[in-house]
Amino acid sequence: MADYGSLLLVDDDKPFLTRLSRAMESRGFDVDTAETITEAMVKVNGNAPDYAVVDMRLDDGNGLDVIAAIHEAKPQSKAVILTGYGNIATAVTAVKMGAVDYLSKPADADDVFAALMRSPEERAEPPENPMSADRVRWEHILRVYELCDRNVSETARRLNMHRRTLQRILAKRAPR
């Protein structure tokens, strides 16, 4: 089995973290995990990993802080950002701070492994099942709703839509 070196996984979703940890260990990584930004920073400052997979939004902060710390401590390391709240601005920021890729959740171990092993010149394959336009709209509305602390009136104002329209959208199931 190949030995790829150290890998730090940072995510507050414990079941996902456990599954990904096992999968990456079976692929030849020496895996360490963290569930918070604080815990991850201690591990990065102690011994920066060769690879990292970091969730964007954690309970105690932004995963980009961990990416920046890893890139500063060990510039040659490869880091990937995982997020359920994908948008272009955060993807660009993640890459500027040292991430080599940006994956939307749910991502499986194969996607993560491919992103970590891809050479900088190599392009990522387009997704086989991209989100529909309705789903992208739904995700955007939910993201703004969460950023407004689940305040319907404030969310409607920011999205420039009627409050009742927003309430009807939020009451429906998510589109596929």
DSSP 125: P
Rounded Cα distance between 19 and 11, Å, is 11
CA–CA separation, 116 vs 53, rounded Å? 9
Structural domains present in the chain: 5-117 (3.40.50.2300), 133-171 (1.10.10.60)
Side-chain-side CA neighbours of 58 within 13 Å: the count stands at: 27
Predicted local confidence at residue 151, as pLDDT: 94
The pLDDT tens digits for 62-103 are 888 888 899 888 888 899 988 776 666 677 777 777 788 888
Question: What does DSSP assign to residue 81?
Answer: E
Q: Where is average pLDDT lowest: 38-42, 70-74, 124-128? A: 124-128
Distance CA 129, CA 16 (A): 21
Residue type at position 89: A
Q: What SS3 class is residue 89?
A: helix
d(CA 87, CA 98): 17
What does the pLDDT look like over 130-173, one tens digit per residue? 667 787 788 788 878 878 888 999 999 999 999 999 999 888 87
The string of DSSP letters for 65-85 reads HHHHHHHHH-TT-EEEEEESS
pTM of the model: 0.70
d(CA 110, CA 27): 10
Burial (CB count <10 Å: 0-12, 13-18, 19+), residue 114: middle
